Each structure stands twice: as C-alpha cells, then as structure tokens.
Amino acid sequence: MNIVALSPADWALALAGGMLIGLAASGLMVALGQVAGISGLVTKAMAGRWEAVLFLLGLPLGALIVNALVSLPPEQAFASPGRLVAAGLLTGIGARLANGCTSGHSVCGIARLSPRSVVATLLFIGIGAVMVALVGVPAP
C-alpha cells in the first residue's frame, strides 16, 4: 500500500473540519437532545419538518462561508450524472435500512460507543473500499 504525501496543513484541515462536525453534532445534542443524523434529517425534511429543512440548508451555507474565508484546493472527481444517481439511490436505501449513515452511525453512534454503529461504520468503509477497488476513480 502506498500512502499519499500529506503536509501538516492537510492534517490540520482534516482534524479541524472533523472537530467542527463534532461541535455541530454536540450542539444539537446538548441544546435539543437530537442526533445529528443526516439521513434521518432528510427523511424528516421530506415529511415537512421545517427544523430539519433549516439544518440541511445550513450545510451549503457553511461550505460557502468556509470557501470565502479559507483558500482550499478544489473539489474533484465528481462522477457522471448516471453514476451519481445510482450512488445516491444505494446510499438512500442503505441509510434507511441501517437507520443511519456516515453522520448518524460513524460520528454520533460511535461517540456513544454503540456496537451497532461500530459494525455499520466498519461495513461502510470495508464495502466502500471494495467498490473503489472494483470501479475506480470516476473520470472527470
């Protein structure tokens, strides 16, 4: 296995970004006792719950603010529309079946040491890695 060369700044961005994600999850939990699970929030938003819609609208807002304040490398390797729709369908079905996605299980669930979430996260990463090995990086 080769490991990509990473600067201290790359590590700092990765860690700081993660801490903001955890801070947001903590904020929702401490203020309102709610789990910041994105797939659950999407389901609630589709059922007409406005507070869930507000959280989801905050996501692109936060990304815009960060991009205005910090100079970051561009996002890369978006797949073709067909592949994006297929990936979206799979994650939508999978997240509803597993009752959580990368946020609900891999952040909030592991944070409360839920064995269920640890198992889900190991499968997300394991099967995700198998998929990357099978289909490779999307052509730009």
DSSP label at residue 76: -
Report the nearest approach of another protein to the CB of residue 127 (Å).
Answer: 3
8 binds another protein (CB under 8 A): no
Report the nearest approach of another protein to the CB of residue 58 (Å).
Answer: 2
Q: Are 78 and 71 in contact (CB under 8 A)?
A: no
User: Helix, strand or coil for residue 74?
Assistant: coil
Chain centroid, CA 4 distance in Å? 22
Residues 16 to 55: which contact another protein by CB under 8 A? 16-36, 38-40, 42-43, 46-47, 50-52, 54-55
The mark string for 99-128 relative to another protein (x by CB under 8 A, - otherwise) is: xxxxx-xxxxxxxx-xxx--xx--xxxxxx
Report the nearest approach of another protein to the CB of residue 122 (Å).
Answer: 8
56 binds another protein (CB under 8 A): yes
Q: Are 25 and 36 in contact (CB under 8 A)?
A: yes
Residues 59 to 88: which contact another protein by CB under 8 A? 59-67, 70, 72-79, 81, 83-88
Report the nearest approach of another protein to the CB of residue 44 (Å).
Answer: 9
Which ranges of 6-49 would DSSP assign to H, the alpha helix?
A: 8-32, 38-46
Kindly report the number of other CB atoms within 10 A of residue 71's CB atom.
6
User: Nearest 5 degrees, angle CA 111-CA 114-CA 117?
Assistant: 90
13 binds another protein (CB under 8 A): yes
| Total site size for another protein, rule CB under 8 A | 113
